[in-house]
Structure 1
């Protein structure tokens, strides 16, 4: 291996190590800064369009950040109190809904279904009772601690205060920062690095902007549908399903399971309402898979669901919520670099020599 190439590889591995070490050491204070940088990245096309419409960069940035702050204030005033009531009620009533679901399964196992399966109803009741009680207590405990945690509240307040400030300055200087970084690239490798950066930007922007739109639309769809059905805590479950929809299959799965537990506890034995609830989730999956995902996200962003799940859990376990924010651009960038390395390998004499053996 040439000495120059060896030094380049060593340099980039050292830079990667320093970056990971930095994120790990300061992960506790990075959330508002990473969030502000992410918002600036996502909103940069909006600022560019406002500039083309005749506004200066500073004025365009001020308009965007003011709209962002106004939206946060509206959410705090209108949505948060309503969600607080729903979360509190959900935590209190979840154990009773789980008990009703246990009773339903116990009665079913005492009938023909139990005889067909050859299962003892008392044993199943004990098993279901233990599982449902533990699950309900676990979910209720998490929601209660998240909602009442002082540290979480401080983090939210800090996020809402500092993130808009970071967004403003990053968005204001975004184009200058990109030009400065571009000037640091070695002239010999500048076209290749620019092409890779363009592919990374396309993958990240295509997925993140599209998936955020899908999550908002699906959250509104599920929240509206479940609320119109009269399902208790339908607004909370619908919005939670939309937010967690950023993680493949997780939002849909958690929303469906929670809705089934509550629907059986609230509506049973009126089956038509339970079937209507299932129809809402079925229609949502058809809408998301057939309309929203193909048109808003597309199929060529280079992020396989399994790879995305691994990246979210891996970075989340290392860096917490900051890692969740970093996971998508990191996964997209690694994917682009892996495809580039594979292309270089297939075009290299090493691959050709291996094919001659």
Structure 2
């Protein structure tokens, strides 16, 4: 194996590219900022419609075997809206009330948590500049980082729940994605030369399977994590269990970093409840993560994406610095798709060279 084919070289190239992207972003932010705003406005409805497309496509394809496709799509739409209405009627008011109560008590919780952390740090017998600096940094972290997370979540929720986007744009895009499901592949093949169509068709199918596996698998894993965290929080008696579990469910879509972000609000709420409650929250977190990593994800996701953890972290850093939260969400599937394209192209080129040598 040549030196440029070894794993260390590949990881070094990915790390270098990530650093270059971050450096480039810092120097051309005056141009990137308007472009980022434009892309975010365009990408949010497309991404959400794409996620729903992959979630609903199997059902629509199944129903289309027995009834007209448009009727199948409308039935699925009605069933989806009916399901959301029933869920909202069942737990919507409870979640809203709990969230409003959490927002109301949040300043008190932060203040009590800060005092608790300060008391713990003051129990250290010796005083030094390092200890004082650690104490101040810890208190600043509790006040600033969680507030930043809350502002980002509120901002994202405000963008996603925009009335026009949700009620008009996303259903419109979703309907035509489902309606033109069988025509997407042939329409893309028209743009490729006849001699390349077999290769392009195989690549597009593999890309589609990769995205479908990621969306369906990640959705199931996130729901399982949210359910497990809710059950764990209820068992240990943590306040605001439903809202905290829902937050953990949402952040679990972020690869690797999501679980740690999802546990932060629970830790902040647990600190004023006492050290034992904090320990119980950490135990729940460890148990859920072990169950997810060793039981849930291997059964649902398998090894379909085959992306190294170091590569995932570097890709997240690069895309997150440019596109923010949306970039973090789409980093892994986009990288996986690019990887499929590159590997498929390399495979095709090698096969073509082998055929030429035979001739």
Q: 1:296 to 1:86 in 2, by over 3 A?
A: farther
1:315-352 superposed Cα distances (whole Å, 9 cap, x missing partner): 343344554554344211211123235546767879xx
Count of residue pairs the alignment pairs up: 316
Query: What residue in structure 2 maps to residue 209 of structure 1?
Result: 216
Query: What residue in structure 2 maps to residue 26 of structure 1?
Result: 38
Give the C-alpha shift of residue 258 in structure 1.
3.8
**Contact kept in structure 1, 2:185 and 2:201, CA below 8 Å:** no
Query: What residue in structure 2 maps to residue 68 of structure 1?
Result: 80
Matches for 1:165-244 after TM superposition, within 5 Å: 165-244=172-251
Q: 1:188 to 1:332 in 2, by over 3 A?
A: same
Q: 1:315 to 1:129 in 2, by over 3 A?
A: closer
Using the alignment, how far apart are the partners of 1:315 and 1:153 within structure 2? Answer: 19
TM-score, length-scaled by structure 1 = 0.75
Highest Rg: 1 or 2?
Answer: 1
**Unaligned ranges ≥5, structure 1:** 1-19, 111-118, 351-357
Using the alignment, how far apart are the partners of 1:86 and 1:218 within structure 2? Answer: 24
1:302-323 superposed Cα distances (whole Å, 9 cap, x missing partner): 3333333443443343344554
Query: What residue in structure 2 maps to residue 84 of structure 1?
Result: 99
Q: Which of residues 104, 107, 112 is equivalent to 2:120?
A: 104
Give the C-alpha shift of residue 75 in structure 1.
5.6
Query: What residue in structure 1 maps to residue 285 of structure 2?
Result: 281
Q: 1:308 to 1:157 in 2, by over 3 A?
A: farther
Query: What residue in structure 2 maps to residue 298 of structure 1?
Result: 302
Q: 1:332 to 1:76 in 2, by over 3 A?
A: same
1:227-286 superposed Cα distances (whole Å, 9 cap, x missing partner): 332212332222222221222332222234443343232033xx3x44433332222122
Q: For 2:41, what is the secondary structure of its paired residue?
A: coil
Using the alignment, how far apart are the partners of 2:35 and 2:318 within structure 1? Answer: 14
Q: Which of residues 151, 158, 161 is equivalent to 1:152?
A: 158
Q: Which of residues 261, 266, 274 is equivalent to 2:273?
A: 266
Structure having greater relative contact order (Cα 8 Å, sep ≥ 6):
2
Query: What residue in structure 2 maps to residue 115 of structure 1?
Result: none
Query: What residue in structure 1 maps to residue 62 of structure 2?
Result: 49
Q: 1:250 to 1:150 in 2, by over 3 A?
A: closer
Q: For 2:195, what is the secondary structure of its paired residue?
A: coil
Q: 1:253 to 1:134 in 2, by over 3 A?
A: closer
Q: CA RMSD in A?
A: 3.3
**Contact kept in structure 1, 2:110 and 2:142, CA below 8 Å:** no
Query: What residue in structure 2 maps to residue 253 of structure 1?
Result: 260
Q: For 2:193, what is the secondary structure of its paired residue?
A: coil
**Contact kept in structure 2, 1:214 and 1:292, CA below 8 Å:** yes
Q: Which of residues 36, 43, 46 is equivalent to 2:49?
A: 36
TM-score, length-scaled by structure 2 = 0.75
Give the C-alpha shift of residue 45 in structure 1.
1.8
